Amino acid sequence: MRDVSGDQEAVALDPNRAVHWVARPEAHDEVLHPEIVLGFHSLCLVKPFNDDDWYMGSLYDDGSILCWAAYGDLYEALRGL
């Protein structure tokens, strides 16, 4: 994870947090139920339960996440950071 992303401070985060996915600005957000959350400073990657995609988003000070990009696999998502 750290080698592919280039972030040597990347960490696994507690998945018990509010996570929302916004596909486009005018759309209503969708609640995601994370199985895995990986933190990269102010960005993160989220793998929801029952979903093969990984979602990239912003990690806020209150621990919540707003996702705005989706990737088909973890490697692609890590390279997208």
Q: How many CB atoms lie within 10 A of CB 43?
A: 18
Residue 69 has what pLDDT? Answer: 94
Sequential pLDDT tens for the chain (81 residues):
677 776 677 889 999 999 999 976 666 788 999 999 999 989 999 999 999 999 999 999 999 999 999 999 999 999 888
Positive or negative CA dihedral for 9, 18, 59, 20?
Answer: positive
pTM given for the model: 0.87
Residue 27 has what pLDDT? Answer: 67
Which residues have CB under 8 Å from 69's CB, separation 6+? 55, 56, 57, 80
23 secondary structure, DSSP code: S
Q: Where are the domains of the chain?
A: 2-79
Q: How many CB atoms lie within 10 A of CB 5?
A: 19
- Assess contact for 74 and 35: CB atoms under 8 A: no
